Amino acid sequence: MTLSFMSPTRGPEVGYLFPGQGAQAVGMGRQLFNESSAAREVFQQVDESLGRGLTDIMFNGPEETLRQTVNAQPAIMAVSLACIKAMEEKLGPDAMPRPVVTAGHSLGEYTALAVAGVLEVGDTAKLVQRRGELMQEACDKNPGTMAAILGLDEMTLEEIARETGTYVSNINTAEQIVISGDNIAVARACDLATARGARKAIPLRVGGAFHSGLMAPAKVGLLDAIDKIEFHEPEIPIIGNCTGEPLTTAESVKQELVSQVCSCVQWKRSIDYMVGSGVQSFIEVGPGKTLSGMVKRISREADIKSVGDIESILSLSRN
Between CA 319 and CA 317 the distance in angstroms is 6
Q: Among 106, 169, 212, 306, which one carries the catalytic annotation?
A: 106
For residue 237, the Cα-to-chain-centroid distance in whole angstroms is 16
Secondary structure class of 51 (helix, strand, coil): coil
Q: Is 211 among the catalytic positions? A: yes
Query: Which segments of 51-120 does DSSP mark as H helices, in order?
Result: 54-60, 63-67, 69-95, 108-115
Burial label for 251, CB within 10 Å (0-12, 13-18, 19+), is: exposed
Pairing mode of beta strands 14-18, 200-203: unpaired
Taken as a whole, the chain contains a residue count of 319
Secondary structure class of 319 (helix, strand, coil): coil
Q: Output phi, psi for 304, to 5 deg.
A: -135, 130
Query: Which segments of 62-197 does DSSP mark as H helices, in order?
Result: 63-67, 69-95, 108-115, 121-141, 154-164, 183-195
Q: Cα dist. 213→32, 104, 119, 188 in Å?
A: 38, 21, 27, 18
Q: Is 106 among the catalytic positions? A: yes
Q: Among 211, 270, 299, 306, which one carries the catalytic annotation?
A: 211
Amino acid at 4: S
- Known catalytic residues are 106, 211
